[in-house]
A and B are shown apart, each in its own frame.
Chain A
Amino acid sequence: MKSVSEHHSSENTGRALPLITGNQTFNSVTEAVSRIAERKTTMLWLLTFGVTGSLVLILLGSIGYLVYEGTGIWGINIPVGWGWAIVNFVFWVGIGHAGTLISAILFLFRQKWRTSINRFAEAMTLFAVICALIFPTIHVGRVWLLYWVFPLPNSMNLWPNFKSPLLWDFFAVSIYFTCSLIFWYVGLIPDLATLRDRAQTRIRKVVLGVLSLGWRGGNRQWKNYELAYLVLAGVSTPLVLSVHSIVSTDFAISIVPGWHTTIFPPYFVAGAIFSGFAMVLTLGIIVRKIFHLEDFITIKHLENMNMIMLLTGMMVGYAYGCEFFISWYSGNPYEAFTFVNRAFGPYAWAYWTMVTCNVLVPQVFWIKKWRTSIAVMFVASLLINVGMWFERFVIVMSLARDYLPSSWDYYSPTIWDVLTFIGSFGLFLTLFLLFVRFAPIIAMSEVKGVLPQADPHHREPQTQLERTH
């Protein structure tokens, strides 16, 4: 369903759309965003929370049973030592890419349209990385000894093996999570202070008072704050690229045909941005609708994201093609077989699902009408998420047929694989629900910064809009 402003904007053909619509004032922005965090809990929220909370219980139950019984409850075997757990890990880490990309990289590139979506995109990143971290933790055979991968001093002088990409992975993801958390929190401070100032109850006053770290909005505070934010953006930017590059080395370092390729780091990063934006879009469309934020998250924002997905989707498609070409060009019969097997072997259904969702579906965004259609982009974003999950599945399943045909086997998940995955969605959505209930879901201070009245020169709207491009 289109709001009035969208109708209005689509009539404005040929002109760039305004970032924030509805003639917002500083106060109306504050009101619109703060109201969501301050109003009474709605029935809808409680119902949804009940559903996602149940899924969290399923996740906890599945993990408990896994720890009690052993990884044998999953479908993994020899040769397929990694199954859904690792697929899910890469899937969630990938989703966790968009937030930091939006907040850090787009910030550095002065893409002001980011301000409406960066807050919940970052939150989504954190929650996705939390979900991601669950999987490598629980997938090991002896969870209770996993701390051995930490470089802890011990009397045996035993160190972890720094050659292992799993160790790099551990460092990369945990650093990424830490930086993303700090970045998100620093961005929250002025808005938390706003909420603190509006707080009615004692508890809110104390909690928000502590969380807002004494923010008063003074000039010096703003000066230091913006510098700190810039520095954090600078620190986070390489991490966006590094974390999925490192995750890709989990595969690329090995000698498994289909894993052992140098294209993996850029291919994984592109895929991660692709899937991350798809997830931001999915959530953004829902949040926008439910909380009536059409003036803040305008069709322009969504269209921009669609264009990024079109770009990264084609990068991913290029990587698929490139893999095929190289497997033939290398003259390596094992590689060649692996890729023929992907397209025509027992997992061909997964491969073609992936190609359809990731390469064909984003092509609809060439057409402006579809690119700006909420229904089209919502369905597309869901399909892209499915496709990106299958991409990781297809990659991991290279294990099923490697060098010696004698040890080939077929992998199929068990109910526990499925429940754990569904449960991780439950955790993700639960955390997201808590976020939309209690935190300012749009960066008020930043949005105010891109309102026309924030511009001291107070130019005409068109001119101000042109600057954003």
Chain B
Amino acid sequence: MNDDLKPQSKDYWRSLDELADTPQFREFLHREFPKGTGEELADKNNWSRRNFLTLMGASLAMAGLASCRRPIEKIVPHVVLPEVYEPGTPIHYATSMPFGLDSYGLLVKSNDGRPTKIEGNPEHPSTIGRADIWIQAAILGLYDPDRAKNITHSGKEVAWDDFVADWSTQFTKFSANRGQGLAVMSEQFSSPTLARLKEEFMEAFPSAQFVSYEPVNDETIYDGIEAVAGARLQPLHSLHLAKVILSIDSDFVFSETGHIVDAMGFADGRRVHSQQDEMNRLYAVESAYTLTGSKADHRLALKPSQVGGFVLALARELSSQGLSIGRFDAPSANTADTGIDQKFVNVLAKDLLASKGQNVILAGRRQPAEVHSLVFALNEALGNVGQTVTYIAPLDRSESSTTGLEKLVADMKSGAVETLVVLGGNPVYTVPVEFGFADALKGVANKIQLSSHHDETSALVDWHLHQSHFLESWGDGRSLDGTVSVIQPLIDPLYASVSDVELLALVASGKIVKGYDAVRETWNSFITSDFENQWRKILHDGFVPKSAIGIITPKTNASSLAASARSLASVETGRELELVLLPSNLYDGRYANNGWLQELPEPINKFTWDNFAQFSFRTAQRLGVATGDLVKLEIAGRSINIPAWITPGQANDTIVIALGYGRKNVGSVANDVGSNAYLLTSAKNSGVASVTKIPGTHFIAQTQEHGTMGGFELGDPLQEKQKRPILRENTLSKFRENGLLFPLHPEIPTQQSIYTEPAYTSDLQWGMTIDLNACVGCGACVVACQSENNIPVVGKEQVSKGREMHWIRVDRYYSGDLDTPEIALQPVTCQHCENAPCEPVCPVGATVHDDQGLNVMIYNRCVGTRYCSNNCPYKVRRFNFFNYALEIPETVQMQKNPDVTVRSRGVMEKCTFCIQRIEVTRLKAKLETRNVGGDEVHTACQQACPTDAIVFGNIKDPNSNVARLKKSPRNYQLLEELNTKPRLTYLGLLRNPHPELEMSTES
């Protein structure tokens, strides 16, 4: 109660006084009435009751409006309701999400004008209806409360008109001098409209510079292909056709360009449902332990500098086994020196030759151009081009260019750049420190930045424009294969922000062009006739069907190949400690302020809210560091302090660090989480690193602390002996012999329940299968579930206490020894046991079974004894230890799925098999007087899964996918011996080692 208000206010306003005095409300008033009201509040003596009421009334009205943000044009009720629109019924719109040089086709769910959930567009070739973690988490980025909310000039808030006026004087000036001293720095893009505007810009300002740069880029891939094929071509993989796949430092299931399609193709080659089915074989050569490595049948851990030598050794072995690789003349290098397992190379070459035209070699973006040249030639020689790998000449692109950036920075330093427009991106954070970008900025007189947040760069620029999210702006994009997609907004910009298209159009033309008009202007060239109708159809579909670019068949230039090979052979491999920088869950750091991605466990090591300097077990031992110790890393005079982490199986003498952490003053989520590995980056080479242990230990938040199935530490002899039958696996050859999955439980007695089991009479009996062979552990299901089911983000401290709220998790188990362990991944969510142990122990009956076989949780009835969770052998139940829902920011509340309860504190929750989706489908079927199809309902995790590992449906319908999969010989129940009869079953993991290598590892 505010004493100052007391004398003026009568008793019956007391509650409103109190309301007015809450800090939230004060903040709200300040926000809504930035100037006048703020002063009035400050000068409390001027308060009259009338003034107060006026203010309250206006504020409450504004509060009402703010909670249902809609495009202004539509705020008048529809006089004639559009046919598709029913209040309360969500509508899906097709759009696309720009991601580097790719563009993902999406369907976005909109509830009464609020976009709430993103799915892949099933028709679109870039996603085929699937998603990855970044697509799933993008919706939270839209509602990020820390987004920049206005245009600022030297830190002061200004209007868009002020910027336009300022630019028009600059435009006149640069028009006169052909753009001398003008530069644009963008993120890389693949967009017809941006490409057109770039062209216009270059036409208007021929002397200006236009540079694209992203820290995680595919430059070396295109450089390598250009070196031998003469053009910067985009490789496209058809992994489903491949019998043998060799990944050379390519995490193609998780983070490489095109990973959704590649993961899908890879999993398609591993769907074994009978003893006769074929299965591909994956060889992985890598430094870090990546998800791709975890799926590999044979994995070789090499230092980055050894990888080139490995490719050379392979080429030499292939050519000695009779493959003609152009006029490839292998320089002789001694593989013994580089420490490469000759047997591995030998068998791999044999396997590749045996599967000519049906195998593929992929090299990752961290490899130098020479490796990509060689891989290009090998794929050609192995007859894969046109089969498993095809090439297109991409259009409408602006690729990242480190050399272009280097020149730009040099010009900035020399004062040759007068005006710099940073069109998206955060160069101060991402550009290699040796370039000295921040210093170079000082030499630029006029600095303009467009970005979604006030970031590291924003602090140093003059004009900061807040960038629109792709869900609130018009644009377009080309996918990797060239398919043209449209980006259409689902909501008016929340903060009247500016899109990249709009800013570039203004910069190029000096005029304000609406994003919508700019895109339509571009698309006039795609749509030759009947523009309006075609355009409407494209907006409906989200993309132009059959707009992929035709494939070409490039040829290897033999002499350049020989040059590449020679240059590879000369790489020094004796360096002591080598640095490997990986994109993380935050990608390159652009998603650092996204709580879902911060809390998503790192896929292999399962830490959250952090990054570490990861060492192999032996290297850590040699350096005398352990997980959680703080170390100082130094490379060429640059250094960071970072906690250490032991990752078994990582290449010895390497330091792996995830990018994207260590942000400063960006947002409440991102600030001071982890360490900034960009401070170690260098454009030339990774250099020699030194590690010094410094005092102190680090506070770790990990979602899985025990890594093996026996419960013993990796390397403990008891571990293999006492392995629990949790994740059952076998080799393909043994599976073909006996059809069994190992390890089986020694004996599972026939068990009976002391309670009468329900009859489950309904025609709808829900069940799920998770194919462990297909699962790549990417975590898309986790984020999708979080988005669909309003799952709170609890923060690092709560995660460290074991209170993460994810309804589905991906368990990771190591097996084998500490140097070359295998990894197996297993998504676990509520198993919906028919004999659910959680049910009888609840004193109030808050968790019960329904007649469709779902184990349902009644939040209203739950008093929170937590006995159900104690008695759940799968530990999939999650408890609201605090009122996490209270901490959801106002904007993020708009993301919440209205069909799912936001849980209060003291309540248990868990996977519902997306019961809200089941109910919507049942209602729809009922209205259409038909039965629900066996495969009609898709759970959120299933829909997002890029590899179709998760299949859900009606197990009573014998034709449903799930019913058929449950008949697979690989089908098993997790903890079957407990007689819980789970509705979720797993399809066991198969590995497909080459017989010759298998023998050698066994002996």
Contact = CB atoms under 8 A, between A and B. Distances in A.
Interface string B848-878: 0000000000000111111101110111011
Interface in A117-172: 139-142, 145-146, 148-149, 158-161, 163-167, 170
B907 A141 contact: yes
A81 B862 contact: no
A68 to B, nearest CB: 10
A161 B906 contact: no
Contacts of A81: 866-867, 869-870, 879
B837 interface: yes
A161 B882 contact: no
B610 to A, nearest CB: 18
Given A70-B883, A159-B845, A164 B840 contact: yes
Interface string B865-899: 11101110111011111110000000000000000
Given A77-B802, A163-B755, A141 B843 contact: no
B873 A82 contact: no
A333 interface: yes
B559 interface: no
Contact of A69 (B809, B878, B882): B882
Contacts of B840: 161, 163-164, 253
Interface in B695-713: 704-711
B813 interface: yes
B801 A254 contact: no
Contacts of A165: 841
Most B C-beta atoms less than 10 A away, residue of A140, A141, A401, A404:
A404
Contact of B875 (A76, A254, A402, A410): A402
Contacts of B803: 72, 77-78
Contacts of B882: 69-70, 72
B601 to A, nearest CB: 11
A70 B882 CA distance: 5
Contact of B704 (A146, A149, A253, A406): A406
Contact of A405 (B708, B844, B908): B708
A170 B879 CA distance: 23
Contact of B845 (A160, A254, A255, A409): A160
B243 to A, nearest CB: 33
B828 interface: yes
B845 A158 contact: yes
A141 B841 contact: no
A248 to B, nearest CB: 14
Given A141-B905, A255-B978, A256-B870, A404 B883 contact: no
Contacts of B813: 405-406
B17 interface: no
B960 to A, nearest CB: 28
B608 to A, nearest CB: 14
A251 to B, nearest CB: 9
Given A72-B882, A164-B842, A337-B711, A254 B706 contact: no
B875 A146 contact: no
Contact of A333 (B705, B724, B867, B883): B724
Contacts of B907: 141-142
A410 B803 CA distance: 12
Contacts of A167: 843
Nearest to A399: B870
A79 B802 contact: yes
B722 interface: yes
B843 A160 contact: yes
Contacts of A158: 845, 861
B866 A161 contact: no
The binding surface of chain A is classed by DSSP as: loop
B240 interface: no
A154 to B, nearest CB: 12
A84 to B, nearest CB: 14
Nearest to B798: A72
Contacts of A403: 724, 726, 873-875, 975, 978
B854 to A, nearest CB: 18
Interface in A67-94: 69-72, 75-82
A160 B802 contact: no
Interface residues of A, number: 51
B862 A78 contact: no
Nearest to B873: A403
A199 B812 CA distance: 75
A129 to B, nearest CB: 19
A70 B871 CA distance: 22
Contacts of A402: 873, 875
A235 B251 CA distance: 72
A5 to B, nearest CB: 52
A159 B846 CA distance: 11
Contact of A148 (B841, B861, B881, B883): B861
Interface string B799-826: 0011100000101110000000000001
Contacts of B724: 333-334, 403, 405
Contacts of A77: 801-803, 881
Given A77-B803, A166-B867, A142 B906 contact: yes
Nearest to B803: A77
Contacts of A65: none
Nearest to B860: A145
B869 A78 contact: yes
A12 interface: no
A166 B798 CA distance: 28
Given A149-B863, A164-B841, A399-B870, A141 B880 contact: yes
A404 B875 contact: yes
A408 interface: yes
A407 interface: yes
Contacts of A401: 711
B842 A161 contact: yes
A409 B701 CA distance: 12
Interface string B712-755: 00000000001010100000000000000000001000000001
B841 A254 contact: yes
B877 A78 contact: yes
A59 to B, nearest CB: 20
A163 B813 CA distance: 36
Nearest to B878: A78
Nearest to A336: B722
Most A C-beta atoms less than 10 A away, residue of B842, B865, B975:
B865
A329 to B, nearest CB: 15
A407 B875 contact: yes
A140 B726 contact: no
A254 B870 contact: yes
Most B C-beta atoms less than 10 A away, residue of A75, A141, A256:
A141
Contacts of B905: 70, 72, 141-142
Contact of A404 (B837, B871, B874, B877): B874
Given A142-B864, A142-B907, A161 B843 contact: yes
Nearest to B975: A403
B845 A161 contact: yes
A141 B866 contact: yes
B843 A78 contact: no
Given A77-B801, A163-B840, A146 B866 contact: no
Nearest to B979: A255
Given A142-B863, A142-B905, A161-B840, 9 more contacts: A75-B801, A78-B869, A79-B869, A79-B875, A141-B864, A141-B905, A160-B843, A403-B874, A403-B975
Interface of B: 704-711, 722, 724, 726, 746, 755, 798, 801-803, 809, 811-813, 826, 828, 837, 840-845, 861-867, 869-871, 873-875, 877-883, 904-908, 975, 978
Interface of A: 69-72, 75-82, 139-142, 145-146, 148-149, 158-161, 163-167, 170, 250, 253-256, 331, 333-334, 337, 341, 399, 401-410
20 contacts: A70-B881, A70-B906, A72-B905, A78-B802, A78-B877, A82-B870, A140-B864, A141-B864, A141-B908, A142-B907, A158-B845, A159-B845, A333-B724, A399-B870, A403-B873, A403-B978, A405-B707, A405-B709, A406-B704, A406-B828
